[in-house]
A and B are shown apart, each in its own frame.
Chain A
Amino acid sequence: MKNPKAVFHIHGVTKFYQVGEVEVRALNGVDLDLFEGEFAVLLGPSGSGKSTLLNILGGLDVPTAGEVFYFDHNLSRYDDKELTRFRREHVGFVFQFYNLIPSLTALENVALVAEIAENPMEPAEALNLVDLGDRLHHFPAQLSGGEQQRIAIARAIVKRPDVLLCDEPTGALDITTGIRVLEALQQVNEQLGTTTAVITHNAAIASMADRVIRISSGRIIDLQQNLTKASPKDLSW
């Protein structure tokens, strides 16, 4: 990647949680840049702090110390209202448990987000991108887990977000459907050029990334640039 521009620039980010009477140090002085258009995988065991990092990037949480820049906006200074606007305008989320609205069909779940976006794509187009063009009018309860997750991806990208943040997107899926979800993510990354960060504890997924960021105990322990990216269908776990 030539002269890539940093979408996120974070510096010295530390996050403490108070869990009952115990203070948990989830992140401990993390420095990281995420670049435009890259597909990054954040790899780490559970409890390593990777979800906390993703939440801070996505504006769901603020660091205890350190600074988070989205281009030149300092997110660590944002209040709740500004964070909501930031999420609304720039971030697409995909969660482990899809979090679809059960009372809305596939198309409507996607349209729900399209309606509050400034320059969205057509909801049906987003669903076509994840190969669900034929399931537009199904309710979540009528779809498999993999299909639900692809709707969630379509919902995340319909607003043409600058970044797509995925928290264990295949965590609840079997390998076959998991691979289809990963294909969808890769397709989005390649066709739309959306900066994509996927967190997982599944090391197999790392080989399809541009860059692998390993996290352990609240610190980044390794950054690895993949010279060749594997195709999702060649993955196995």
Chain B
Amino acid sequence: MTSLDRKLLRDLIHYRGQAIAVALVVLCGLSAFVTMHNTFQSLVVSQSAYYSEYRFAEVFAQLKRAPESLTSSIAAIPGVTALQTRIVFEVILDVPGLKEPATGRLVSIPGSGKPLLNDLALRQGRTIEPGRRNEVIISEAFAQANQLKPGNTLGAIINGRWEHLLIVGVALSPEYVIEIPSGTILPDSKRFGVLWMSREAMGPAFQMKGAFNDLSLTLAPGTQEAEVIARLDRVLEPYGGLGAYGRSDQLSNRFLSDEIAQNRVSGMIVPSIFLGVAVFLIHIVLSRLIILQRNQIALLKAFGYSSSAIGFHYLKFALVVIFAGSLPGTVLGLWLGSLIAEIYQQFYRFPVFYSRIRPDLLVLVIFISFAAAGLGALLSVRKAVSLPPAEAMRPEPPARFRPGLIERIGLQRFISPALRMIIRNLGRNRAKAGFTLLGIAFAVAILLVGRYSFDSVEYLIRVQFETIQREDAMLIFNHPVGSGARYDTTRLPGVRSVESFRLVPARLRFEHRSRRIGIQGISPTGRLRQLLDKDLRPVNLPSEGLVLTKQLADSLQVRPGYLLSVEVLEGKRPVLTIPVAGIIDELLGISAYMDLRSLNKHMHEGPAVSGAFLTVDPLQEPDFFTKIKKVPAVAGVAFRKHMVQGFRDTIAQSMYISTFVLIIFASVIAFGLVYNSARISLSERGHEMASLRVLGFTEQEIARILLGEQAFLTLTALPVGLIIGYYFCWLMSKALETELYRFPLVLTGKSVIYSLGVTVLAAFISGLFVRRRLKHLDLIAVLKTRE
């Protein structure tokens, strides 16, 4: 070890407090990067591996019923490489141990051999044996949520008959990486599951022998997907085709792709903030070190050390600190990444979740942080080595203060000397003060963003599930039925009120833009579905015309008064022209509403309904559940409180973890900044503080002057942080806004207080650390020397 390296080591030990604070910031930045990037990469890699290995289809279509012989004309569409027809039906399930009914989506698989497309990854048990009628394989999320294993049975009404289904296996499918019941867009693993059953068993049971109602395709590379979809729609139209769509509209894939896109954004922003703060801290710590060591630098130069040797010596200080932060940062990041991967595994189901980080990118980021730190170091070192030795050996000229704004406008007499010292010191070091302030403000902002996730989810639940959707349960009938069903529904135990609705699958078209959607016909006098405008004011449903949610109207680029072409995708498939009558706001999905009677009239049908919203007496709920499980006419049922609970369960857990991590990270930033800035003030002004102590100032009083500066910076940073944080939240709400979810920009007072509180606490604790050092000021030594 050279003598210079020995000096480096001792400098590091001497400045360990500050070095650790900087290293911690680097650690947080790198672990944030590794965690988030790892998550992002893992999702990308796992998704693509899963899709290709299990032959996830590229185009999907549902229809009423088509004969198997139609496949030859579908296979003839140019670009189609493989196709798989299936039978898919939703049924009510009686799950052991679950009071309320669940909904099962029965999906056919070949009686023997693997499905050509959308293959299953068997996780437990076995596949279905040929000829066994009632065997099913169930989805893993559903199995785990209900503690079901191979050997258990489920009760189900299959086409009007009560059946026992024997679970023989548990599996995953690329089609259901996330399982979302139809009619909602929230996962609820306990009450919704996918069940795979043999085609041979399903055909006769659903009167679909030799027929299919679901189709998946893969395409040759380079094929125009839109072209195939258009041709496919034409082929399927006579068979009740509901409109084909590509992967981008496939719900599970959509969720997953949105999640990946969000991870990509957040994986860049947060680490950038940390690395920026780290570079700034290294710069101020090193500048101070170099000022204190001016004499030594001059001496080294006098001895004949070259400027570059001295420069490299200080650069190494920065590199050691960065290295000390980046190594554990990477390890911590990998560990956090695996933790997050576990959470993702409960939400997104993959047969293999590849935890992967691109080593080249990791090396790049570490290199960038080293380079940035080097830059921070070089800026400080250059000044020192450029001085001629004789000049550098003289002490630094005294701090220059000149009358500033406060003096010019004569404000000084209203301000105490201690406060004047604080203000003038900040004024003299504007850049440093500005960066420190900005850094602390970022800490506030990061915390606020963390809280925003909670607030917006709570807001979303409140608006969507309390104000808009007010029913206790929603029933979906097997087929549109007459209004007599309303009275049957009323007779179910505990039902207090019933509001029927009609759901008509349709393609809304305006100019060249079109969207597939279910038009909901509801009663304008109903109380269980409340339409709202963007300020949450109730909107009355007009007796004519369509009311669209804003996202739908935007995607079609229509305004009230525009005429939409509505291609109905069921029954006689009329093509209607209906005006847009209004725009409303909802936070989940996209919807189109219409007066039920008007919709019936347009469909040339009697008072037909597709389902009903119910309110149920809580005391009679168990009876209601028992009864509803056995009503053959009901294809599905969704309970509002279970939807909310399922939503909370899945989303809350990952949010708690990420918020916890954000708190730690933000505290580290606040701590690192305040601690370093106070330590440097102490170093710069130790002389001054000791003089004051000699003059009779108490420790308390000088602490107030020294830490007052940090307190001033922290307090000023708070409102700035709230503004930045608010802007970040706005960015987040935009970045997270998808057609599936919208997270409105809401922040509660509690969140604001919390963000400010955590920052102030972190700053306060770092202040205490520095405060302790004031006890050890050497009063006599300080007066002997001139700085």
- How many Å lie between the Cα of A194 and that of B783 in the bound state? 23
Q: Does B403 contact A (CB under 8 A)?
A: yes
Known contacts A88-B696, A137-B407; decide if A167 and B417 are in contact (CB<8 Å). Answer: no
B400 in contact with A101 (CB, 8 Å): no
- How many Å lie between the Cα of A81 and that of B691 in the bound state? 16
Q: Does B421 contact A (CB under 8 A)?
A: yes
Q: How far is the CB of A18 from chain B (nearest CB, A)?
A: 14
Q: Does B701 contact A (CB under 8 A)?
A: yes
Q: Does B416 contact A (CB under 8 A)?
A: yes
Known contacts A91-B696, A93-B694, A101-B691; decide if A55 and B780 are in contact (CB<8 Å). Answer: yes
Chain B residues with Cβ below 8 Å from A108 are 412, 417, 420
Q: Does B562 contact A (CB under 8 A)?
A: no
B696 in contact with A102 (CB, 8 Å): no
- Quick one: CB contact mask for A20-39 with B, threshold 8 Å, 1 for yes? 00000000000000000000
- How many Å lie between the Cα of A93 and that of B418 in the bound state? 20
- Quick one: CB contact mask for B613-627 with A, threshold 8 Å, 1 for yes? 000000000000000
Q: Does B773 contact A (CB under 8 A)?
A: no
Known contacts A99-B687, A141-B399; decide if A60 and B420 are in contact (CB<8 Å). Answer: no
A99 in contact with B783 (CB, 8 Å): yes
A141 in contact with B398 (CB, 8 Å): yes
Q: Does B698 contact A (CB under 8 A)?
A: yes
Known contacts A97-B786, A111-B417, A142-B402; decide if A87 and B424 are in contact (CB<8 Å). Answer: no
A89 in contact with B783 (CB, 8 Å): no
**Residues of A125-184 contacting chain B, CB below 8 A:** 137, 139-142, 155, 167, 172
- Quick one: CB contact mask for A39-81 with B, threshold 8 Å, 1 for yes? 0000000000001000100101100000000000000000001
A139 in contact with B402 (CB, 8 Å): yes
B402 in contact with A103 (CB, 8 Å): no
B694 in contact with A103 (CB, 8 Å): no
Task: Count contacts on A: residues with CB < 8 A to the other chain.
Answer: 37
B696 in contact with A101 (CB, 8 Å): no
B695 in contact with A93 (CB, 8 Å): yes
The B interface is mostly helix, strand or loop, or mixed, namely helix
A97 in contact with B401 (CB, 8 Å): no
Q: How far is the CB of B411 from chain A (nearest CB, A)?
A: 13
Closest residue to B779 on the A side, CB-wise? A60
A61 in contact with B696 (CB, 8 Å): no
Q: How far is the CB of A181 from chain B (nearest CB, A)?
A: 17
- Quick one: CB contact mask for B274-308 with A, threshold 8 Å, 1 for yes? 00000000000000000000000000000000000
Q: Does A116 contact B (CB under 8 A)?
A: yes
Closest residue to B698 on the A side, CB-wise? A84
- How many Å lie between the Cα of A96 and that of B786 in the bound state? 9
A101 in contact with B688 (CB, 8 Å): yes
A89 in contact with B424 (CB, 8 Å): no
Closest residue to A108 on the B side, CB-wise? B417
B424 in contact with A103 (CB, 8 Å): yes
The contact of B695 among A111, A113, A142, A172, by CB within 8 Å, is A113
B407 in contact with A140 (CB, 8 Å): no
Chain B residues with Cβ below 8 Å from A96 are 783
Contacts A88-B696, A102-B400, A140-B401 supplied; 5 other A-B pairs, CB < 8 Å: A102-B401, A104-B424, A116-B697, A141-B402, A155-B695
B-contacting residues of A (Cβ < 8 Å)?
51, 55, 58, 60-61, 81, 84-85, 87-89, 91, 93, 95-97, 99-105, 108, 111-113, 115-116, 137, 139-142, 155, 167, 172
Chosen A-B contacts, 9 in total, with CB atoms closer than 8 Å, are A84-B699, A88-B697, A88-B698, A96-B783, A97-B783, A102-B398, A104-B421, A108-B420, A115-B417
> Would you list the 7 A-B pairs with minimal beta carbon distance, nearest first?
A88-B696, A99-B691, A103-B424, A87-B696, A102-B399, A139-B401, A112-B417
